[in-house]
Structure 1
Amino acid sequence: MTVRARKFTPEVLLSAPRRSAGVPNADGSRVLYTVSTYSFAEHSKTSEIRVLDVGTQRSALVTDLEGASEPNWLDDGHILILAPGHDGATLVKVGHVDNFKNSCYNAGIIEAPASNVKLHLLEDNKFVFAITAQASPEGELYNPETTPKPHSSGRFYTSLFVRHWDVYVTPNRNAIWLGTISRPSPGTHSHARYKLSALVNALKGSGLESPVPPFGGSDHFDIGSHGLVFVAKDPDLNPATHTKVNVYLVPISDFSVLRLPKPKKVDVYGFEGASTAPVFSPNGKQAAFLSMRQDGYESDKNQIFIIPDIQRPSWVIHVLASEDGKGKWDHSPQSMVWSVDGKALYILAEEKGRVCLYSLPSNVLPAASLPELIMNSGAISDVHPLHNGDIFISSSSLIDNSIYHITDRNQNHTMISSFSRDGSMFGLSRKQVSEISWPGAAKGTQVHAWVVKPSTFNEKEKYPLAYLIHGGPQGAWLDSWSTRWNPAVFAEQGYVVVCPNPTGSTGYGQDFTDAIQGQWGGLPYQDIAKGFDWIEENLPYVDTDRAVALGASYGGYMMNWIQGQPLGRKFKALVTHDGVFSMAGQMASEELYFPFHEFKGTLWNNREDWMKWDPSAYTKNWATPHLIIHSELDYRLTIAEGLAAFNTLQVRGVESQLLTFPDENHWVLKPENSLLWHTVVLDWINDHVGLPLYSKTSQKQDVKQQALANEIRELRI
């Protein structure tokens, strides 16, 4: 986008370039990143790898090779990328950043789809090379393109998982593959080129899988000068009913040896939950990781651990330990990285609707003080310490889809790049965003909420309310960009958007997060209802007589719950995306540990708690117009939940609509599907509060939307 959008619409949101986190060179003077753009006119996606010169603020194309991804610096001039090859293979390409097209060559070919590249410099022109790719049951590279297809379509299982997130589970497993990539010294060879060695499966024969599906990636392993550290589900426990994830070390003295030692488990006594984010110190002799206490609770608090000497994996220090086991720091870190000198850990953690950066000395253990806040602006997604001691930071906000910062040792923050020019390219500004809070249902609690107003806001006018409830339920609305639930899209339709973080939300202390257990329709519902009353009494520019409520996942559950409760009568319309209709239906979910924890036991041993907050028990009260959205590849909340809710509304004679996608999972990710999703949702809520139908206004802006409007009309038949 080179000009300011006249109005921030779903088309603008979905066709705007999407920039990745930045990958700086050693001194932060140049930054690699990928950027992708979808064209609704061409119905196609284009992607590029680019380099930003921080000094001149100019960005240059590195390559637009289709499918190119994961750029990494080899030195200040040469970079490594991945690109798709023939028949599902992955090409490892190397070239000069300033002339990549003419200088690039294949340093190696991996005969399968691969991703999550990590490099670690061993010596001049020689790196440890790590990548993840699926392995067959025999431990060999698995390539679905070249593997013979079975003659039968049947699937046979004798234990869980049967399916996970949006795929049926197969015998193939994620694995970490190690090797080296090196070149002769340029002075000894006139045509010195990098060459990838043979790769070895570091998990072969261990019975372990890493990264952990469905979302594990490069955050689940790290490589250093002396080995590999990774996390994997405990092989002795069923992954459908347990969250226990262990840390493993593979000491390696010579990365050129094709036979690696077996992984060594790192025991953390008293911590039986999930571990994540393992990272080596710069010298590779220490490692840090995060771990949870409770098995079965995926939102337990992460706590920080350090292995002072990887040659002694039984020696583990709980950095901020407390006598009660909860830890001295009431934050749940999500990732860490070591400073260049190895004297500090930089930690990302949520706090009050933001993802903040903290620093903790790592050379003084046990820690004498809590982590120090370095930056609390927006939502930080990635951090790279630079050789001069500065920190390169990638983040976003509610109005800006990509921001790069440099923070120096004195904590002076310098924004070096804002991809959407601080929101102005979208027609947005920071003045549209504010924060409110009100007393929560539980004694002594406060419920924090984000408020997003239209860019044309006039405090003397009144605007309908769009009340957005987040998923999780252990999640939060953050000061961050989203292409799925972006509050500014609703605000620009003419709503005041309020995004509350009720009981169960993260970033407000672990007790607040934990309090939702056994309270799904209790404390959070009361917080939301109290918020509605607070808005009505304290925000004169909000017309609560023209209010709509929307939510996905747990937010979708809350829409179904609200529909049967008194609060449901205060809304003109509701929108449920992938929400729970019947609690017993959660036995069809894949990660059964989730309902077992949330409802304090199994369905057969604790049926009362399962049924206490069941939306289907209150369907006799359903009366508010309701849009139901549910997709067929959602194996977390099966499509039966959406069909049951829609069928109930229809039989009861309640005005209702159903939107479903056969090729989407718990999220709607494909741009064309997402545009349809936004159009149907906005038409539904706008029609019920007296705002213009979005499909009609978009037709005036672009005649190409006529086809979409026709498609929507056909879907309504």
Structure 2
Amino acid sequence: MNPWIASLPLTLAALSAGAAPLTVEALNQLNKLHSAALSPDGSQVVYGVTEVQGETKRSELYLRSLATPDRVTQLTFDEGREHSVQFAPDSEGIYFLAGRSGSSQLWYLPLGGGEARQISDLPLPVDGFKLDPSGEQVALQVRFHPTCADLVCAEKKATQQDERAAQGRHYTELMVRHWDEWNDGLRNQLLVAPLLEQRLGEPVVVTAGWDTEVPPRPFSGMEEVAFSPDGQHLVFSAKAPGTDQAWHTNYDLWQVPVGGGEPVNLTEDNPAWDAHPVFSADGRYLAWTAMSIPGYESDRFRIMLKDLRSGEVSEVAPGWDRSAASITFGEDSHTLYVTAQDVGQVSLFAIDVRFGDVRPLLTEGSNRLVGAAGGKLVYTQNDLANPTDLYMATSSGQQVTPLTAINADKMADLQVGEFEQFQFKGWNNEVVHGYWIKPVGYQEGQQYPVAFLVHGGPQGSFGNRWHGRWNAQLWAAAGFGTVMIDFHGSTGYGAEFTHSISKDWGGKPLEDLQKGLKAVGEQQPWLDIANACAAGGSYGGYMMNWIAGNWPEGFKCLVNHAGLFDMRSFYMVTEELWFPEYEFGGPYWEQSERYERFNPVNLIDNWRTPMLVLHGAKDYRVPLEQGLAAFTVLKRKNIPAEMVVWEDENHWILDPDNLAQWYHHVLGWMQRWTAKPGAHSQKGVD
């Protein structure tokens, strides 16, 4: 298969009648699109494809002309993986990160011909980079000890740490561990270096002495860093150094000279989260996203704008009740392209910063903007039936053209289920949305068991997207009618709807789930809601524990992945304390009544539903002991239960083999408990 060949996107009608149902093994074999970038002149796009064939993975970069149909060039032929691609400002070459020389370093490839050249040769790996507008200098993300002001010190400290004989780690402050790593004393740092004829000049550590993460970990990258239009400063999002970082969300925007110096706080007046700084091409505006509620990680990200001529700061489109996920200035310097969750989709909008008018451009599926230039939008898109591909549209969102179909051959041999969004009256008779998916091989007049999937967050959404882990189509392929509900607290339905779950974890959401299951059963009689199993992870796993105590008659079985079991002990062992402290109004000892009101452990007397418990041992967000405690209760009460633990997984199951094992256990468990008498059920495998 040629993964760069573009064709029409996959549709249900295009699937072969002889195609097989999707399996987790087939999901793991799908090719992956990554590292897409649009040239500044809007004439071409580069993207990476990781092609999977059995146990072999190969990742290469491809260049596609946007003017000449099907003009695609393979740029790389190396066994390694090139990623984090950026075009040079003149559009004549690309920069990328690769480990070709033994560690991750910066490389440059001229598009007119010639071999890639290594630009950086630092003693430590480069984890991210960003070019300044002129292409004359580059900001580099490197991880080392914050006491070091140069790379000589950084390398020496790293060597000392590697050679340390004693294994004990000494801590005086939180966080002791974060996500899936113990705190090793290292921090993300920013360096700036000149680019001298495609080689790196002497780098300057512009965050020297800052004992904080720049950019923040574990999920942020160089999207949190921007060069000023004149190239004289960096602006970045970070928490101020301090001992309170585990229990606040006060990320600010900081400005520092590219030659080094003391960072200046640009958003000191806002005690909540400031992020994603971007400058307009003409240098007039600085835009960023900002929350307004301290300590609340799921608050609405407003769009803020500073006019650099007048110094005036204002909110863009203050009446628009959506949370901006990404912002990008258009070529005209007054249009912001914004992605945001919106009623089950991740949509793309255009907002005029002068007037605040909001225009929806792409409103179906899950969209991510790659770039806007030359009157074109290049973006990725996926939905519940189609994995991610690259597309092009006009700046108004019209004349959509597929640019890739990297899984066309593989998906043509697979069947997926028909899906549809539905709505019903939930808590307080307010409208709540969800999705159902018909089982593969659906036949009119038959009823099917239900897989009732509950998302995590809790401020989250399954939505209309292709998920690499919780892929709803796998339940449909296993013969289930699949139902997902965006209960009160879900994102994409307005700030008030999202806020409504805080301090009410077991109230409105449970009522929505109960009413939603009943409503979808009435709307879609082919769903046998009396023969259903529920599954969820993180908060969804919490909800499995909560359902076990509050709705024990609702399901034939439950699947609890990384679920919170005891809110008291959870507070004492999780890492990001701002999360429970906002959700329940403060530390446990100040708000114990609220924590205990919706604490699943308090209702274990009611438990009787068979439950499968799954957990990663390196999960420091919801530590393993939460799953072990639930399993202990189940077994001691003689309730049918099984548990699976992965020693090297975190809050998510990421290894493909482990994911396959996860699904075999989950689907086998659910088929076992929903099987009709005498029917064959799939046995779980180790």
- Residue 491 of structure 1 aligns with an amino acid whose one-letter code is A
Alpha-carbon distance between aligned partners in 2 of 1:53 and 1:459, rounded to the nearest angstrom? 46
What is the match of residue 62 of structure 1? 75
1:673-697 residue CA offsets vs partner (Å, 9 max, x unmatched): 111111111111112222755569x
Contact 1:405 1:413 in 2 (8 A): no
Q: Quick one: which of 394, 405, 425 aligns to 2:380?
A: 394
Contact 1:401 1:419 in 2 (8 A): no
What is the match of residue 255 of structure 2? 249
Q: Quick one: which of 569, 576, 588 aligns to 2:553?
A: 569
- CA drift of 1:242 comes to 0.5
3-state SS, counterpart of residue 447 of structure 1: strand
Contact 2:36 2:85 in 1 (8 A): no
Contact 2:368 2:380 in 1 (8 A): yes
1:17-54 residue CA offsets vs partner (Å, 9 max, x unmatched): 11125212234443222222455x43x54322223344
3-state SS, counterpart of residue 75 of structure 2: strand
Pairs within 5 Å for 1:107-506: 107-122=119-134, 126-136=135-145, 137-141=147-151, 142=154, 146-147=159-160, 148-183=162-197, 194-226=198-230, 227-236=233-242, 238-252=244-258, 259-267=259-267, 269=269, 271-309=270-308, 315-320=312-317, 327-362=318-353, 364=354, 367=355, 369-386=356-373, 388-417=374-403, 418-421=405-408, 424-425=411-412, 427-428=414-415, 432-443=418-429, 445-506=430-491
Q: Quick one: which of 568, 577, 602 aligns to 1:584?
A: 568
- Residue 204 of structure 1 aligns with an amino acid whose one-letter code is A
- CA drift of 1:371 comes to 1.7
3-state SS, counterpart of residue 630 of structure 1: strand
1:421-459 residue CA offsets vs partner (Å, 9 max, x unmatched): 499436346x7110111101134x211001122242223
Pairs within 5 Å for 1:17-96: 17-20=31-34, 22-39=36-53, 41-42=54-55, 44-54=56-66, 55-57=68-70, 59-63=72-76, 64-74=78-88, 75-84=90-99, 89-96=103-110
3-state SS, counterpart of residue 120 of structure 2: strand
- CA drift of 1:208 comes to 4.2
Residues 38 and 664 of structure 1: CA distance in aligned 2, closer, same or farther (over 3 Å) = farther
Alpha-carbon distance between aligned partners in 2 of 1:200 and 1:433, rounded to the nearest angstrom? 53
Residues 346 and 114 of structure 1: CA distance in aligned 2, closer, same or farther (over 3 Å) = same
Q: Give ranges in structure 1 of 5+ residues lacking alignment.
A: 184-193, 253-258, 321-326, 697-708, 713-717
- Residue 148 of structure 2 aligns with an amino acid whose one-letter code is E
3-state SS, counterpart of residue 216 of structure 2: coil
Contact 1:268 1:316 in 2 (8 A): no
Residues 283 and 261 of structure 1: CA distance in aligned 2, closer, same or farther (over 3 Å) = farther
Work out the percentage of aligned pairs sharing the same amino acid: 30
Alpha-carbon distance between aligned partners in 1 of 2:273 and 2:328, rounded to the nearest angstrom? 19
Question: Stretches of 4+ moved more than 6 A in 1?
Answer: 1-4
Alpha-carbon distance between aligned partners in 2 of 1:90 and 1:222, rounded to the nearest angstrom? 22
| TM-score, structure 1 as length reference | 0.87
Alpha-carbon distance between aligned partners in 1 of 2:107 and 2:101, rounded to the nearest angstrom? 14
- Residue 75 of structure 2 aligns with an amino acid whose one-letter code is V
Residues 219 and 422 of structure 1: CA distance in aligned 2, closer, same or farther (over 3 Å) = farther
What is the match of residue 615 of structure 1? 600
Flag the structure with more relative contact order, 1 or 2, with Cα contacts below 8 A and sequence separation at least 6. 2
3-state SS, counterpart of residue 565 of structure 2: coil
Which is worse superposed, 553-562 or 402-411? 402-411
Contact 2:38 2:378 in 1 (8 A): yes
- Residue 454 of structure 1 aligns with an amino acid whose one-letter code is P
- CA drift of 1:272 comes to 1.5
3-state SS, counterpart of residue 427 of structure 2: coil
| TM-score, structure 2 as length reference | 0.91
RMSD between aligned residues: 2.4
Contact 2:133 2:227 in 1 (8 A): no
- CA drift of 1:285 comes to 4.5
- Residue 333 of structure 1 aligns with an amino acid whose one-letter code is A
Residues 1:602 and 2:591 aligned together: no
Q: How many pairs are equivalent?
A: 657
What is the match of residue 627 of structure 1? 612
3-state SS, counterpart of residue 647 of structure 1: helix
- Residue 216 of structure 1 aligns with an amino acid whose one-letter code is S
Alpha-carbon distance between aligned partners in 2 of 1:36 and 1:411, rounded to the nearest angstrom? 28
- CA drift of 1:599 comes to 1.1
Q: Give ranges in structure 2 of 5+ residues lacking alignment.
A: 3-14
Contact 1:70 1:82 in 2 (8 A): yes
Which is worse superposed, 640-649 or 677-686? 677-686
Residues 693 and 381 of structure 1: CA distance in aligned 2, closer, same or farther (over 3 Å) = farther
Alpha-carbon distance between aligned partners in 1 of 2:228 and 2:683, rounded to the nearest angstrom? 54
Residues 71 and 372 of structure 1: CA distance in aligned 2, closer, same or farther (over 3 Å) = same
Contact 1:21 1:381 in 2 (8 A): no
3-state SS, counterpart of residue 401 of structure 1: strand
What is the match of residue 12 of structure 2? none
- CA drift of 1:206 comes to 4.1
1:312-342 residue CA offsets vs partner (Å, 9 max, x unmatched): 8x6422334xxxxxx4221111110101121
Contact 2:616 2:650 in 1 (8 A): yes
Residues 121 and 605 of structure 1: CA distance in aligned 2, closer, same or farther (over 3 Å) = closer
3-state SS, counterpart of residue 521 of structure 2: helix
Alpha-carbon distance between aligned partners in 2 of 1:621 and 1:410, rounded to the nearest angstrom? 56
